[in-house]
């Protein structure tokens, strides 16, 4: 069963194709998002097409599939009517699927389920990455706030940190927020003395 | 309170104005409803979010709501359109080269004259083995049907003499620039952006093809209407108030400011302002010309969902999909438009409410009084460029007579 993967994120496309390959589905075609979409899909002749929900080429792709009905190779959106929840879950995960006419549900279902899990895993990864980036940025802000306090008040690093921590506890805010306020006010008022 | 929230899907287009303004300017809050707007880049995604409950309603091209109810390309889902978000507001833009070949002037020309010139170019291109190619925003869009209506009417047979492909609105100017298409039929501000970038000339406003052509609608799943009828009616009142405000003189600047924001259209404010005020810059660097009723968002009960509008769209769907007429499908298509809900929502307000649910489309030359159950209703000219009229009770006769 040939599966084409169309994704604006090449990382996610790689994650999905790895998963499909592990499951023994290795007839895969990765569509290059920078190239001509329809020509690539037409040449690949896939039986299943997986595309991210927010891909800006979906209207174009659906039009091509509608036209393919007139040819000998009709493809339609995969909508599992007996199990609306499954299609809903795919949409929730951000993936939509199109399948060639006549392909049995038993063969498609595992592909979609796997794609959904991989999409979810990718979202989780991205969230973790964002959190890690934020944590890193917060650490940098706290370091800068400590440096400002050390310079202005002539204190050492543990004292500067204690000052930040004490203020955070008294005002019921996070240390990063206090640090952010110090860095901002230093940027605005730093030269006044 | 959560029962009163409507998540509404939209594409970044000027005619997404009513739900956006209903939210931003407090018309929704006044009716006790809360609007959350969900922006997407394709109609396929707007439709999928609507069908699977990510959204409760959507700004949608009218034919797509009907195609969804009829189960075209996918299993049928019952749909309801209780409110029309506007008439027209689209344009046909030629590439700079095609504008030159056709000899477009600096003003909006006559559709039949431009059509005759385009027909000669199309024939020459066909013989040269490089047929003209036009982009429309979706297979099931009013843009597709309006463009095809005009082309067929001037002797250019779509799919035979000219190719018509799909180009999403935000990428239409790119497609013109790259030479992928020779013309586009899209909504604003995307024609103006093509002109501004120097890659296109506006040839026609779709209002020149059909003076009162139905455009975007508020589409919902039938189930949502049944479950939340009172809240739906409150939402319609909010949209109706937003529409009245939108067409009021002196409000255009503020509306353009809001719509231009990145979370809504993310497009140049001036192009949006020109569309709202019916002023269109046709050629790069040219002075905008005023074309009254370029966009038609409120007057003449424009928000009323006439079943005959749905029937016309169904007739064009048959015409271009090469499908056979079905009385059942015709009834299903017409029933997607829900004038009954519109009347119930606005009963007791000052809004004019038509007494009929269907009318002869394209039958009015000079302003005509129409029967109403509330308020006074005057309908302006609603002519098609070729002078034909559409009788919703005789779809087959109409189709047989079309070129």
The verdict on a CB contact (< 8 Å) between A88 and B48 is no
Q: DSSP assignment, residue A133? A: H
Residue A72 pLDDT class (50, 70, 90 cuts): low
Residue B143 contacts A, CB cutoff 8 Å: no
Contact B42 A88 (CB under 8 A): no
CA distance B32 to B36: 13
> Which residues of chain B does A66 touch, with a Cβ-Cβ cutoff of 8 Å?
73, 139
pLDDT mean over B345-367: 93
Is pLDDT of B34 > 60? Answer: yes
CB–CB contact B52 A87 (8 Å): yes
Place B154 in a pLDDT band, splitting at 50, 70 and 90. Answer: very high
Chain B residues whose CB is inside 8 A of the A62 CB are: 44, 73, 139, 166
Structure tokens at B162: 């000219």
Contact B52 A96 (CB under 8 A): no
Is the pLDDT at A191 greater than 80? The verdict is no
- The confidence band for B302, taking pLDDT boundaries of 50, 70 and 90, is very high
CB contact under 8 A, B171 and A63: no
Mean pLDDT computed over B12-30:
97
Centre a 10 Å sphere on the Cβ of residue B29 and count the other Cβ atoms it contains: 13
Decide if B139 and A66 are in contact by the 8 Å CB cutoff.
yes
Look at B54 and A91 and tell me if their CB atoms are within 8 Å: yes
- Rounded CA-CA distance B345/B340 in Å is 9
Separation of alpha carbons B189 and B11, rounded Å: 12
Give residue-wise pLDDT tens across range A140-171. Answer: 999 999 999 999 999 999 999 999 999 999 99
B44 contacts on A by Cβ (under 8 Å): 58-59, 61-62, 96
Residue A126 has a pLDDT of 86
Which member of B45, B75, B137 has the closest CB to residue A81?
Answer: B75
Nearest residue to B362 (alpha-carbon basis) of B321, B306, B318: B306
pLDDT band at B1 (very low <50, low <70, confident <90, very high): very low
Indicate if ipTM > 0.95.
no
For residue A176, what is the enclosing H or E element?
helix A175-189
Q: pLDDT digits over A98-134, tens only?
A: 999 888 888 888 898 999 999 998 888 888 888 888 8
Contact B44 A57 (CB under 8 A): no
Average pLDDT over residues B118-124: 97
Asked if the Cβ–Cβ distance from B75 to A92 is below 8 Å, we say no
Which of A23-32, A69-78, B207-216, B346-355 shows the lowest per-residue confidence on average (mean pLDDT)? A69-78
CB-based contact (8 Å) between A65 and chain B? Answer: yes
Highest mean pLDDT range out of A64-73, A102-111, B79-88, B370-379? B79-88
In chain A, whose CA is at the least distance from the CA of B11?
A56
CB-based contact, B325 to chain A, within 8 Å: no
Residue of A nearest to B75 (CA): A79
Report the pLDDT value the prediction gives residue B183, as an integer from 0 to 100: 97
CB B311, CB B392: distance < 8 Å? yes
Does residue B2 carry a pLDDT above 70?
no
Q: Are β-strands B34-39 and B5-10 bridged in parallel, bridged antiparallel, or unpaired? A: parallel
Instruction: Using a CB–CB cutoff of 8 Å, tell me whether A86 touches chain B.
Output: no
Residue B386's contacts (CB-CB under 8 Å, 6 or more residues apart) are: B112, B153
Contact A39/B at CB under 8 A: no
Query: Would an 8 Å CB–CB cutoff place B137 in contact with chain A?
Result: yes
Residue B232 has pLDDT above 80, yes or no: yes
List beta partners, residue B60: B217
Judged by phi (left if over 0) then psi (alpha if -120 to 50, else beta), residue B61 lies in beta
Judge: A87–B42 Cβ closer than 8 Å, yes or no: no
Query: How large is the average pLDDT for residues B206-210?
Result: 97
pLDDT tens digits, B320-336: 998 999 999 999 999 99
CA B230 vs CA A111, B18, B77, B226: distances in Å: 42, 20, 22, 9
Measured in whole angstroms, the distance separating CA B125 from the mean position of its chain's CA atoms is 30
The answer, yes or no, to whether residue B261 has pLDDT greater than 50, is: yes
Q: Which of B151, B194, B150 is nearest to B172 (CA)?
A: B194
What percentage of chain B has pLDDT greater than the value 90?
A: 92
CB contact under 8 A, A58 and B44: yes
- Average pLDDT of chain B is 95
Angstrom distance (rounded) from CA B95 to CA B92: 10
Distance between CA B351 and CA B240 in Å, rounded? 9
Residue B315 has pLDDT above 80, yes or no: yes
Nearest CA in chain A to B43: A59
Q: How far is A59 from chain B (nearest CA, A)?
A: 6
Confidence of residue B3 (pLDDT cuts 50, 70, 90): low
- Give the pair of three-digit tokens for residue B299: 């007057």
Q: Is the pLDDT of residue B246 over 80?
A: yes
* Residues B73-101 pLDDT 10s: 888 999 999 999 999 999 999 999 999 99
Residues of chain A with Cβ-Cβ distance to B139 below 8 Å are 62-63, 66
Inter-chain CB pairs, A–B, below 8 Å: 58
pLDDT, tens digit, 9 for 90 and up, residues B287-300: 999 999 999 999 99
Contacts of B170 in chain A (CB under 8 A): 56
């Amino acid at each position: 069963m040939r599966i084409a993967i169309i994704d604006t994120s090449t990382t996610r496309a790689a994650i999905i194709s790895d998963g499909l390959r592990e499951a023994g589905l290795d007839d895969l075609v990765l569509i290059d998002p920078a190239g001509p979409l329809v020509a690539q899909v037409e040449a690949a002749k896939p039986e299943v097409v997986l595309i991210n929900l927010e891909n800006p080429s979906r209207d174009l792709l659906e039009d091509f599939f509608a036209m393919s009905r007139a040819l000998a190779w009709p493809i339609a959106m995969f909508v599992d009517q007996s199990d609306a929840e499954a299609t809903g879950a795919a949409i929730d995960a951000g993936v939509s699927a199109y399948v060639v006419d006549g392909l049995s549900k038993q063969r498609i279902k595992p592909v979609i389920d796997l794609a959904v899990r991989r999409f979810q895993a990718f979202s989780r990864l991205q969230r973790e990455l964002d959190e890690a980036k934020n944590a890193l940025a917060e650490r940098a802000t706290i370091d800068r706030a400590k440096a400002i306090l050390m310079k202005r008040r002539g204190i050492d690093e543990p004292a500067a940190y204690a000052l930040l921590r004490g203020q955070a506890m008294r005002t019921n805010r996070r240390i990063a927020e206090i640090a952010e306020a110090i860095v901002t006010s230093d940027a605005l008022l730093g030269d006044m003395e | 309170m959560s029962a009163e929230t409507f998540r509404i899907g939209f594409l970044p287009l000027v005619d997404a104005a009513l739900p956006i303004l209903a939210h931003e300017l407090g018309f929704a809050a006044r009716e006790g409803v809360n609007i959350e707007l969900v922006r997407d880049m394709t109609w396929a995604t707007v439709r999928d979010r609507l069908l699977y409950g990510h959204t409760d309603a959507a700004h949608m091209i009218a034919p797509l709501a009907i195609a969804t109810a009829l189960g075209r390309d996918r299993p049928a889902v019952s749909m309801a359109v209780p409110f029309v978000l506007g008439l027209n507001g689209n344009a046909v833009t030629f590439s700079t080269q095609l504008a030159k070949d056709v000899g477009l002037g600096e003003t909006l020309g006559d559709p039949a004259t431009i059509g005759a010139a385009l027909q000669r170019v199309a024939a020459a291109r066909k013989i040269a083995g490089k047929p003209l190619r036009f982009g429309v925003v979706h297979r099931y869009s009013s843009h597709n049907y309006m463009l095809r209506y005009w082309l067929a009417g001037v002797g250019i047979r779509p799919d035979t003499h000219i190719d018509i492909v799909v180009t999403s609105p935000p990428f239409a100017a790119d497609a013109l620039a790259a030479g992928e298409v020779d013309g586009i039929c899209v909504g604003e501000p995307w024609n103006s952006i093509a002109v501004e970038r120097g890659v296109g000339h506006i040839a026609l406003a779709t209002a020149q093809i059909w003076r009162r052509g139905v455009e975007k609608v508020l589409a919902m799943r039938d189930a949502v209407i049944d479950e939340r009828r009172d809240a739906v009616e409150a939402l319609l009142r909010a949209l109706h108030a937003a529409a009245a405000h939108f067409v009021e003189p002196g409000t255009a600047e503020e509306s353009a400011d809001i719509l231009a924001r990145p979370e809504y259209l993310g497009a140049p404010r001036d192009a949006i302002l020109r569309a709202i005020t019916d002023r269109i810059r046709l050629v790069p660097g040219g002075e905008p010309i005023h074309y009254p009723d370029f966009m038609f968002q409120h007057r003449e009960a424009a928000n009323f969902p006439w079943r005959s509008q749905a029937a016309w769209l169904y007739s064009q769907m048959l015409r271009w999909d090469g499908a056979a007429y079905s009385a059942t499908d015709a009834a299903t298509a017409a029933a997607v438009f829900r004038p009954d809900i519109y009347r119930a929502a606005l009963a007791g307000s000052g809004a004019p409410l038509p007494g009929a649910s269907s009318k002869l489309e394209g039958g009015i030359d000079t302003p005509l009084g129409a029967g109403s159950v509330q308020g006074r209703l005057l309908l302006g000219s609603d002519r098609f460029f070729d002078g034909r009229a559409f009788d919703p009770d005789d779809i087959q006769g109409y189709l047989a007579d079309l070129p």
